[in-house]
Amino acid sequence: MIPYLSLVIPVYNAAEFIEDSLQRISAWKKSTEISLEVIVVNDGSTDETAKKVEQFLATHEGQVQFISYPGNRGKGHAVKTGMLAAKGKYRIFTDADIPFGFAVFETIVHNLEVKEFDVCIGNRMSPDSVYNSERGWVRRLSSTLFTFLISRFVVTGVSDTQCGLKGFKGNVADILFNNIHTDSFAFDVELLYLCYKYEFDFKRIPVKFEGNTISTINLGKSSVKMFLDVMKLPLRYHFTKKYLTPAEARSRYRDASH
């Protein structure tokens, strides 16, 4: 049976809080009546993340599907791996600490199913969002500069490309994630860039921060790689044959919708 909703959760060095997240996911899964699959993807963690997930599964058989591989490939690779393994009619990925809670998943599915948007993304910059995670001035500055560059030159008008909460119709997820070639955190930008190119309709929704303030990101290393990956994106799209053309993408979208 095709699940109604797939929830994909990439994890990297999350041993400090992954048990709590899994317990919360298990409780939520038991409380909902929808057909649900949860896929946790371990992106080559070097701490005890994998061990803790496996210990949870030993006493909670069938609660989550666990995918793990050696070597840290990047968040983009982890999300892509989970999304292409997912079977749900609707698919959502969120960060390992479930930073925006569970109720927002219903909002996303409502926009995908009832409002008929192809993609629904969290927007921390919305006036209606509650996002007070403490960040140092270096992180705030780099985020501001990155957002300015992206919204000005790549995905015009999107004030928050990096929110770790995005949902998709299943057929749209198949098209997008089969065309994602960025393994770093810049994969979010590539997703939205392709949404524009393929004329997918996406909805931005406000979010309420409920997660922790623990970060597993090496800001200096990640920021430089993100910047380089983003700058290469338009060149790769226009001058390589790695992507579907807009006409091909729309054709596959129509075929999968029937």
Per-block average pLDDT, block size 10, for the chain (258 residues)? 96 98 96 95 98 96 95 97 98 97 97 98 94 60 65 74 95 98 93 96 95 59 78 92 96 90
What is the full DSSP assignment across 3-48? -SEEEEEEESS-TTTHHHHHHHHHHHHHH--S-EEEEEEEE--SSS
Four-residue CA torsion sign, 231, 236, 242, 247: positive
Number of domains observed in the structure of the chain: 1
- Which CATH number fits the domain that encloses residue 207? 3.90.550.10
Residue 178 tokens read as 């089969």
What pLDDT shows up at residue 145?
A: 66
Residue 16 contacts residue 214 (beta carbons within 8 Å): yes
What pLDDT shows up at residue 1?
A: 85
Residues 6+ apart with CB under 8 A from 76: 180, 182, 183, 184, 185, 186, 187, 188, 190
Residue 47 tokens read as 């701490």
pTM of the model: 0.91
How far apart, in whole angstroms, are the C-alpha atoms of residue 19 and residue 164? Answer: 19
Four-residue CA torsion sign, 132, 136, 140, 146: negative
How far apart, in whole angstroms, are the C-alpha atoms of residue 6 and residue 19? Answer: 20
Q: Quick one: how many helices (H) and strands (E) in the chain?
A: 9, 7
Which among 11, 27, 13 has a CA at the least distance from the CA of 60? 27
Q: Where are the beta strands (DSSP E) in the chain?
A: 5-11, 36-43, 65-69, 90-94, 119-123, 165-169, 202-206
Residue 240 tokens read as 């390589």
What pLDDT shows up at residue 144?
A: 64
Residue 178 contacts residue 94 (beta carbons within 8 Å): no
- First-to-last alpha carbon distance for the chain, in angstroms, is 18
Domain residues for 79? 5-257
